Amino acid sequence: MLSPRVLIPFMLTGTIWGSTWFVITGQIADVPAAWGVFYRFMLATPALFALAVVMGNRLKLNRAEHRLALGVGIAQFSGNFLFVYHSEQHITSGIVAVMFALLMVPNALFARMFIGERVQGGFIGGSLVAIAGVALLLVHEWNAAPLGGDVGLGIVLAVGGMLAASIANVVQANPTGRGVPMVSLLAWAMLYGTGFDLAYAFATEGAPVVPGGWQFWAGTAYLAIIGSVVTFPLHYNLVREIGAGKTAYNGIVTVCVAMLLSTLFEGFVWDALSAGGMALALLGMGLALRSKQAK
């Protein structure tokens, strides 16, 4: 873990993903959330295909693989991100990031239901501690409501995004998914998801809103290239180097960065309730991930 070839991508991936939650707030300030999601993946999709070519991965998929890519794309690059972008209109980005750090819980439940993976008692106990911590943070958010929005709706939308992402995670792990190079599968999934995002944006928001400010496009490029393309090879190389269990710990780095940015730029105010909730959330995540690693 302390080797530079492990430590540098580990910290870099967690830090980048931690920053993306805040960058999203700039995107939804200038355009409707649906168009913001579309613009992000409009830029990311060709870059991901180019990455697959550079890596020498096959791009041709058979019918079953295309069906899988379609399902993953709708769940991950449409449902997940549409829910997230809309949720951040109501609750601070750091809180959404903390909620998403609990993605390991529905991942484990769906994996148990659909592919028969066992869950250790320690994982369940740690997850319950983390959920209690997140609940305290949400109570704090409900009381403070710094964005002046509907906190309850924001929570529901964030949960919807988390469940969509979890479904995509579990579905892509089936035998068909394991037979496709990961970057190629993600490229096709992103293409399908982007098509759905375009149709959804037209249906719900009407004609495209195209901002002229460079700040919007700089943020979109950051989310598309740095947050969506660069991090995938880093992440999956870590999985090969140190295993999925240890790699999952970068979620704790992500949460810390996201909450720091929310504190600095979104007016998140710490008190005993939120500090205690954050401590419980981090402790529970650590315990759950350690247990999952040991199984």
Percent of the chain with pLDDT over 90: 37
Which residue in the block uniquely carries the two structure tokens 């394991």? 178
Residue partners of 159: CB distance under 8 A and separation at least 6: 99
> What dihedral angle (degrees, nearest 10) is formed by the CA atoms of 121, 134, 260, 224?
80
Check residue 190 and give its pLDDT.
Answer: 94
Residue 290 has pLDDT above 90, yes or no: no
User: In which region does residue 205 sit, left (phi positive, over 0), alpha (psi from -120 to 50) or beta (all else)?
Assistant: alpha
Residue 198 has pLDDT above 80, yes or no: yes
Residue 105 has pLDDT above 90, yes or no: no
* C-beta of residue 102 within 8 angstroms of C-beta of residue 161: no
Check residue 31 and give its pLDDT.
Answer: 92
CA distance 191 to 173: 19
Check residue 295 and give its pLDDT.
Answer: 46
- Which of 89, 83, 282, 227 has the alpha carbon at shortest distance from 163? 83
Q: What is the mean pLDDT of the chain?
A: 85
CA distance 2 to 49: 32
* Cα distance from N-terminal residue to C-terminal residue, the chain: 19
Question: What is the pLDDT confidence band of residue 149, given thresholds at 50, 70 and 90?
Answer: low
* C-beta of residue 226 within 8 angstroms of C-beta of residue 13: no
- Average pLDDT (108-124) is 72
In DSSP notation, the chain reads --SHHHHHHHHHHHHHHHHHHHHHHHHHHHS-HHHHHHHHHHHHHHHHHHHHHHTT------HHHHHHHHHHIIIIIIIIHHHHHHHTTTS-HHHHHHHHGGGHHHHHHHHHHHH-----HHHHHHHHHHHHHHHHHHHHHHHH-TT-S-HHHHHHHHHHHHHHHHHHHHHTTSHHHHTS-HHHHHHHHHHHHHHHHHHHHHHHH-S------HHHHHHHHIIIIIIIIIHHHHHHHHHHHH-HHHHTTHHHHHHHHHHHHHHHHS-----HHHHHHHHHHHHHHHHHHHHHHH-
Percent of the chain with pLDDT over 70: 91
* C-beta of residue 126 within 8 angstroms of C-beta of residue 285: yes
pTM over 0.75, yes/no: yes
- Average pLDDT (101-113) is 76
Question: What is the pLDDT confidence band of residue 148, given thresholds at 50, 70 and 90?
Answer: low
Check residue 115 and give its pLDDT.
Answer: 62
Residue 67 has pLDDT above 90, yes or no: yes
Question: Exposure string (b/e) for 135-152, b if CB count within 10 Å is 16 or more?
Answer: ebbbebbeebeebeeebe
Residue 4 has pLDDT above 90, yes or no: no
Residue 32 has pLDDT above 90, yes or no: yes
Residue 30 has pLDDT above 70, yes or no: yes
The 10 Å Cβ neighbour count of residue 176 is 17
